[in-house]
Chain A
Amino acid sequence: DAKTTQPNSMESNEEEPVHLPCNHSTISGTDYIHWYRQLPSQGPEYVIHGLTSNVNNRMASLAIAEDRKSSTLILHRATLRDAAVYYCILRDVKNSGGSNYKLTFGKGTLLTVNP
């Protein structure tokens, strides 16, 4: 599985934008970039995913580098409720490894939001 690298932790202030980076230099052409987050004492929550183009939804935006070796999850206005561990996960849509249903969670980025 292609690996991802994220900072261990980041800090933000409420109402300010947050940019959460993810490096995936060994990404393959058929890997989708998925983001999940896990709030304290809760299950992971799907946030967004994309392949090549930037994506927006009601929760966040995903900016993908032109060479696809990195991506950034953007929370436009952080709230206290956004404090969570954010996971960047690659998923091979082609299933060349035969088990692309397995989500591989790394350590993620712990986002702290200051009031």
Chain B
Amino acid sequence: NAGVMQNPRHLVRRRGQEARLRCSPMKGHSHVYWYRQLPEEGLKFMVYLQKENIIDESGMPKERFSAEFPKEGPSILRIQQVVRGDSAAYFCASSLQGLADTQYFGPGTRLTVL
């Protein structure tokens, strides 16, 4: 089975541009989670989605950030008008079931904002 896939692996954007990060969960998994790891910091939960629904977005910055997980296709984390402080590694995880089920992580997307 293929694991969680994320693309692109590296993304460079200039301030003010948009960044789109994609995540394809493991086959059969309908629960997706996004985490952010700022330089020299631990991973922080951002958002939890289950097919077409946002379950918990309490970790998302209030502005410029949005996430979706459509019925068909990958989950997308979208950052509008990026700023230098958005530079970080963004990891996606998926699980078969929600709650305390084991989460499997992708390799991450490293976003650099110039």
A residues whose Cβ falls under 8 Å from a Cβ of B: 32, 34, 42-46, 49, 91-93, 95, 99-108
Contact = CB atoms under 8 A, between A and B. Distances in A.
Indicate the size class of the contact surface on chain B: 20 to 34
A42 B56 contact: no
A92 B43 contact: no
B100 interface: yes
Nearest to A49: B102
6 contacts: A43-B108, A44-B91, A46-B102, A91-B100, A101-B99, A103-B35
Q: Is the interface of A mostly helix, strand, loop or mixed?
A: loop
Given A32-B100, A42-B107, A101-B100, 8 more contacts: A93-B100, A95-B99, A99-B58, A100-B100, A101-B98, A101-B101, A101-B103, A102-B59
B60 to A, nearest CB: 13
A46 B103 contact: yes
A99 B58 CA distance: 10
A41 B83 CA distance: 22
